[in-house]
Amino acid sequence: MMNSAKIVALSALGPIALSAVAQNVTLPMTTDTHPLVEKFKPCVSPFGLTHDLPLVEPFPNLEGAGKLYVLGDMGAVSDGYKHSLFVSGDGKAIYIVQVGGIAGTYKVFGPLDPAMDCSNKAPSF
């Protein structure tokens, strides 16, 4: 059983962890369209990824020349995921950013190959 000192210590870490995650999501979402958005939409759902994609650790620096495009939102799923597609200005760096879930996690998947096709692979879940 946890004592109150441990509970207070764990509670205090929450805002610190969240602020570190929030610093990674600083690029504004664009309303522009990109041809890769339609290509990578089948890779995601409000429940998470629909296909196995490589998890990037540590998080890549997504600052600078690049845009974040909406791939999908949580829909009616209360603890679902929102997904965005990051495409660098030169188009060479492509990542899927996943935010949400029960604890509000932040994950980055990639780098992705523009030739990848999620529509013809078996789902991973």
Q: In Å, what is the CA distance from 60 to each residue of 57, 88, 97, 110?
A: 8, 12, 10, 10
Rounded Cα distance between 63 and 74, Å, is 24
pLDDT at 11: 37
**Which residues of the chain fall short of a pLDDT of 50?**
1-24, 123-125
pTM of the model: 0.71
39-53 CB burial, b ≥16 within 10 A, e <16: bbbbbbbbebbbbeb
pLDDT at 53: 93
Question: Which residue do the tokens 């760096």 mark?
Answer: 93
Rounded Cα distance between 61 and 43, Å, is 22
- The predicted-structure confidence for 69-104, as pLDDT tens digits, reads as follows 999 887 777 888 999 999 998 888 999 999 988 877
pLDDT at 5: 44
